[in-house]
Amino acid sequence: MGDRNASVNPQMLARQYSPGDVVAHVSAPQYGLRVVAVWDGIGMVDVLSAMGQKRIPVEELALAGSGATVPPPVEADDSTDVQWCSVSRGQSDRNVQKLASKFLKQGLYWSGVDRRYRPTRTEKSEGVRLCPKCCTPMRPTRYKRREGVTERLLACPSCLFLIKPCDIEGEA
């Protein structure tokens, strides 16, 4: 038998409540709770009961029936200000994009044993290698001569990251 709550979306559930509504907790449906604030972005509702104000997940609430004992209406004062606390989708999308960009591979990245690096698709198409540490374009440089042969490297001018071109996959 599958999980009954597998397809429950707390953000959508939270949108059915508004401040001033009377709801009941699933564990005690005979007692009504008054909604003080709705946090649809996190799927939570602030409710007021005889014991005080509390934040409860919307999955544990239902609109109260007519038989529920209801607390008195909330008077607007500084301590219990009735409010709707919506999280805009635009801000949420920007935050998600900002977080996801931290995990995208911007430049060369370590891909195998013996410090082998793999270029990203944009690096392959543009032919410019970016530093794995700071994403600055790397420049070719000469390191030292051994037995009459100059050893060539790619160097980052800002953080001084050095790599041999032979350690990059797909380059000689």
Give 166's DSSP letter: G
- Arithmetic mean of pLDDT over the chain: 76
* CA–CA dist 56, 39 (Å, integer): 10
Assign 165 to helix, strand or coil.
helix
- For 81-96, write each residue's pLDDT tens digit: 445 455 545 556 677 7
Buried b (16+ CB within 10 A) or exposed e, 50-59: eeeeeebebe
Number of separate domains in the chain: 2
Contact 106, 100 (CB under 8 A): no
Task: Give residue 81's domain range.
Answer: 10-98
Mean pLDDT throughout 154-163? Answer: 90
Residue 142 has pLDDT above 60, yes or no: yes
Per-residue pLDDT, 157: 92
CA distances from 88 to 55, 100, 163 (A): 20, 18, 45
- Asked whether residue 36 is domain-assigned, the answer is yes
- pLDDT of residue 46 exceeding 70, the answer is yes
Confidence at residue 156, expressed as pLDDT on a 0 to 100 scale = 92
With 0-12 CB in 10 A as exposed, 13-18 as middle and 19+ as buried, what is 146? exposed
* pLDDT tier, 76 (very low <50, low <70, confident <90, very high otherwise): very low
Which residue would you say has higher pLDDT here, 85 or 6?
6
pLDDT at residue number 78: 47
CATH classification at residue 37: 2.30.30
47 and 28 Cβ atoms separated by less than 8 Å: no
pTM over 0.85: no
For residue 71, being part of any structural domain is answered with: yes
Residues 16 and 81 in one domain: yes
Please identify, among 44, 78, 98, the residue that sits at the C-terminal boundary of a domain. 98
- The angle at the Cα of 7, spanning 36 to 83, to the nearest 5 degrees, equals 15
Which band of pLDDT confidence, cut at 50, 70 and 90, is reported for residue 71? low
Q: What pLDDT score was predicted for residue 139?
A: 92
Task: Give the residue with greater pLDDT, 133 vs 88.
Answer: 133
Ranges assigned E (strand) in the chain: 22-25, 28-39, 44-49, 52-57, 61-63, 83-85, 109-112, 116-118, 139-146, 149-155, 162-163
Residue 5 lies in a domain: no
Structural domain contains residue 172: no
Q: Which of 168, 50, 60, 49 is nearest to 118 (CA)?
A: 168
Residue 143 main-chain phi, psi, to 5 deg: -100, -70
